[in-house]
Chains A and B, each alone.
Chain A
Amino acid sequence: MSENHAMAFTRGFTGKRRGDRATRGDRLPPGQYDSGEDWPTLTAEATPRLTPEDWSITVDGLVEEQRTWSWSEAHALPGSTYAGDIHCVTTWSKFDMTFTGVSVDTLLDAARPRPEAAYVMAHSSTGYTTNLPLEDLRGGRAWIVWEVGGTPLSVPHGGPVRLLVPHLYFWKSAKWVSRLELMDRDRPGFWEANGYHDRGDPWLEQRYQGDP
């Protein structure tokens, strides 16, 4: 990847979206803008046809006990809600979202990660994958969710169930999530093998491989 880092400013550019920053600037990571009401969908593959009856989530790999939950079994777990912002690497951020589902901690606690587990590969039923440090799925910072704004998550937005890791860029929040595989070593997922960052912290602007 080449980069011409003339850090000089762009002649004549002052920025049009500063209104957003003036009111919510402290919530907008660098290089992001407020998408307002829009919630763009970005998908690399054909959108699948999925129903709740077909869906299940499995936690396996380096765990003491491999576990699988069906749609109804997952709904019987203690519920958990995230209210806050999301940030997409394509530079939009969306404020004040509400997602409902189950904390990933609940799933991991049931499967009991082995001491050597340090990374997780999230798999989707489409074959999509994304890798995350296990730590980023711990501590009440990650969910599997089936509702947004009080309504069922639509298929284009990853329904019936997607992963939600809102403190990282949104490609880490795998749509149509079906499996969390615990690993001792990091290995790149789909976008990560295609040039995107292994961790993806929007506040550090970890967009692409090679970013800090």
Chain B
Amino acid sequence: MEVTRDSEKLVRLRFEVADRVDHLPGQHYVLRLRAEDGYTAQRSYSIASDPADPLLELMIECLPDGEVSGFMHAEARVGDEFELRGPIGGWFTWAGDVPALCLAGGSGVVPVVAMMRHARRLGVEHLLRVVVVARTLPELPYDDELVGRADMIALTRENLGSRVAAPPYPDELVDLVEGVQRAYVCGSVGFASFAQRVLGEAGMRADAIRVEQFGASG
């Protein structure tokens, strides 16, 4: 296992998984922690890695008082073994087949990174449009990969180039929605609700939107 602490709040974990089953970008794994007396805690985390990556990569955001995320931040180190289960989920997946637009907020970018990496390997990057939203660039997971690759980065708390801090406006998305057969929305409950609305205003059909949302569940 490899452990990289990308920031105070983000830890990147790359696991060697025994008997791993290939995943599709967008799927997740369940990570289970087990205390000596049998008490367990488990949470789902989206996969960031391409299926062809020999390791399985998860990016875990440390949540306030997070039982699992807090432990992984404070304690996880190379050599540790964990119980992992997956891949899970067959709905929020993209196999590189249809033109798609991703609209992700905060740590919701993780499954989108898997889709981007997948698209690059398959040589179908033209099929995937990516819009990500974060408060500031340092708070955006995978900012190094997203800058230059994402079609649009909307920061809400600081300006980026000539773009004044604001969530994405419908008119900024109209061109990106054009010709897209499916939209993927991933982020917090509040973000997902905003994203569905703004996509609708930009002309995206509601029944072509797939949503993955998460609450603060530590």
Chain A residues with CB under 8 Å of chain B are 1-18, 21, 30-31, 33, 35, 38, 40-48, 90-92, 127, 156, 190-191, 193-195, 208
A8 to B81, CA, bound (A): 9
A12 to B209, CA, bound (A): 41
Give the number of residues in B that approach A within 8 Å (Cβ atoms).
50
User: Of all chain B residues, which has the CB nearest A127?
Assistant: B207
In the assembled complex, how far is the CB of residue B88 from the closest CB belonging to chain A, in whole angstroms?
Answer: 6
B122 at the interface (CB under 8 A from A): no
B44: chain A residues at CB < 8 Å are 90-91
CB-defined interface of B178-218 with A at 8 Å, one 1/0 digit per residue? 00000000000100010010001000001101111111111
B70 at the interface (CB under 8 A from A): yes
Residue from B32, B83, B90 within 8 A of A193 (CB atoms): B90
User: Of all chain A residues, which has the CB nearest B196?
Assistant: A46
Top 4 closest A-B pairs, CB basis?
Answer: A40-B215, A194-B90, A46-B206, A2-B21
Pair A40/B34 contact, Cβ less than 8 Å: no
Majority secondary structure, B binding face? mixed
In the assembled complex, how far is the CB of residue A167 from the closest CB belonging to chain B, in whole angstroms?
Answer: 21
In the assembled complex, how far is the CB of residue B199 from the closest CB belonging to chain A, in whole angstroms?
Answer: 8
Pair B84/A10 contact, Cβ less than 8 Å: no
A44 to B91, CA, bound (A): 8
Pair A7/B34 contact, Cβ less than 8 Å: yes
A38 to B34, CA, bound (A): 25
In the assembled complex, how far is the CB of residue B106 from the closest CB belonging to chain A, in whole angstroms?
Answer: 16
Pair B210/A45 contact, Cβ less than 8 Å: yes
A35 to B214, CA, bound (A): 13
Beyond known contacts A4-B83, A42-B213: 9 more, CB 8 A cutoff: A2-B21, A6-B81, A13-B34, A16-B65, A40-B214, A90-B214, A92-B215, A92-B217, A208-B88
Pair A31/B42 contact, Cβ less than 8 Å: yes
6 A-B Cβ contacts within 8 A?
Answer: A1-B85, A11-B80, A15-B35, A45-B206, A127-B207, A208-B85
A45: chain B residues at CB < 8 Å are 206-207, 209-211
User: Of all chain A residues, which has the CB nearest B42?
Assistant: A31
Pair B42/A91 contact, Cβ less than 8 Å: yes
A-contacting residues, B72-117, CB 8 Å: 75, 80-92
Pair A12/B75 contact, Cβ less than 8 Å: yes
In the assembled complex, how far is the CB of residue B196 from the closest CB belonging to chain A, in whole angstroms?
Answer: 5
A92 to B67, CA, bound (A): 12
Residue from A2, A8, A44 within 8 A of B18 (CB atoms): A2
A3 to B85, CA, bound (A): 5
A92 to B21, CA, bound (A): 27
B17: chain A residues at CB < 8 Å are 2, 4
Pair A13/B210 contact, Cβ less than 8 Å: no
Residue from B32, B86, B213, B216 within 8 A of A2 (CB atoms): B86
Pair B70/A35 contact, Cβ less than 8 Å: no
A48: chain B residues at CB < 8 Å are 206
